[in-house]
Amino acid sequence: MGRNDGRHDMTDEAEHNPHDGEEREAALSATLVAAQSGLRSDVKSLLEVLSAAQVYIPLSEDLPDTPEGEQLEFDGELTFRPHMILGEEDAIFAVAYSEAKFVEPLRSSLGWTTSGEELKFICVPAEIALDLAQVTIDAETVTGLVFNPGTEAELVLRRDEVASLAQGSALPLVGYVSEIEDGALSEPHIVQGAAAPPEALVSALDRVKEKEAALCGFSVLTTFDPERDREPHLTIVLSVIDKGNLNRAALAEAVMDEVSPHLPAPGYADIVFRDAPN
């Protein structure tokens, strides 16, 4: 990842709590790690912690007379230039840290400084970091927010996920949600009365079945699990004969290559494996 800097203006509209201390910082870090599951309940827990949390934002340019390591108190408007990072295709991400020590991986690899001197932070309510991740800088839209980049407590939030948190709502983080375990599809998550899958998709699955000896059957369901999904989508259940040498990942890839052009909105599907009866 590269680096980019952006200016941000913020207005003090909320009452700020005093610096919460190391215990509160560690609790935020633990909640960020838990949210890596992507599950809505874990994101909701993160939202609750963020509402009272302070975070550290690394400065590209110095703010004179700003106390370092203490929550910044301000009235009116404050302009600051934070460090940002570049993702794939030059996507710009704001950066925030639950603990200042977590900056070391990027401080070392990117040579971060503040006005050419030792790196400094401002300590602000977490809502400021969420706001920073939704601005436009030099006509470029910020893509999202990364907490603690380069550490085990890293959490990458896309712009829509940041906006949801800023509005007090928790979405499943689709980039983190784990795949459904083999055969683990709960009956309550099957949408009854949903439209039949497109005929072209079923035909594509038939073609895979003809090529793959281990695939002895399939079914296509519409499912929705509020813990891990944002909207109903297709789940393809593959019945397989597995004698211990079946490469399930390769089979799943072959299925998706064949059916992807025929997937209805929202344009993706889960794949679940089930062992065929002996």
Residue located via tokens 């699955």: 205
Does residue 115 lie in a domain region? yes
Whether residue 68 is found in the same domain as residue 156: yes
Whole-angstrom distance, CA of residue 235 vs CA of residue 53: 38
Whether residue 142 is found in the same domain as residue 204: no
- Which pLDDT value is given to residue 160? 93
Whether residue 12 is found in the same domain as residue 131: yes
Per DSSP, helices labelled H in the chain are 21-34, 40-50, 104-110, 126-132, 159-166, 199-211, 248-259
Whole-angstrom distance, CA of residue 254 vs CA of residue 248: 10
What would the pLDDT profile of 226-236 be if each residue is shown by its tens digit?
A: 999 999 999 99
- Which pLDDT value is given to residue 181? 65
Q: Which pair of structure tokens corresponds to residue 175?
A: 């980039």
Whether residue 105 is found in the same domain as residue 210: no
What would the pLDDT profile of 166-201 be if each residue is shown by its tens digit?
A: 999 999 998 898 766 665 667 778 999 999 999 999
Residue numbers of the domain that contains 194: 187-275
Beta bridge partners of 89: none
- Which pLDDT value is given to residue 19? 44
Q: Are 97 and 147 in contact (CB under 8 A)?
A: yes
State the CATH number of the domain containing residue 238.
3.30.70
Whether residue 117 is found in the same domain as residue 33: yes
Does residue 173 lie in a domain region? no
Does residue 247 lie in a domain region? yes
Give the number of domains in the chain: 2
- Which pLDDT value is given to residue 67? 56
Residue located via tokens 């839209």: 141
Does residue 12 lie in a domain region? yes
Whether residue 25 is found in the same domain as residue 119: yes
- Which pLDDT value is given to residue 262? 96
Does residue 7 lie in a domain region? yes
Whether residue 52 is found in the same domain as residue 139: yes
Does residue 15 lie in a domain region? yes
Whether residue 127 is found in the same domain as residue 85: yes
Whether residue 99 is found in the same domain as residue 230: no
Q: What is the pTM of this model?
A: 0.77
- Residue at a domain's end among 166, 201, 216: 166
Q: What are phi and psi of 123, to 5 degrees?
A: -105, 115
Say which residues have a Cβ less than 8 Å from residue 188's Cβ, sequence separation at least 6: none
Q: Are 257 and 201 in contact (CB under 8 A)?
A: no
Q: Which pair of structure tokens corresponds to residue 129?
A: 């970091």
pLDDT 10s digit of each residue in the chain, 278 long? 444 444 444 433 334 444 447 888 999 999 999 999 999 999 999 999 999 999 999 988 887 766 555 455 555 555 778 888 887 777 889 999 999 899 888 887 887 888 888 888 888 899 989 998 887 666 678 889 999 999 999 999 999 999 999 999 999 998 898 766 665 667 778 999 999 999 999 999 999 999 999 999 999 999 999 999 999 999 999 999 988 889 999 999 999 999 999 999 999 998 999 888 76
- Which pLDDT value is given to residue 98? 95
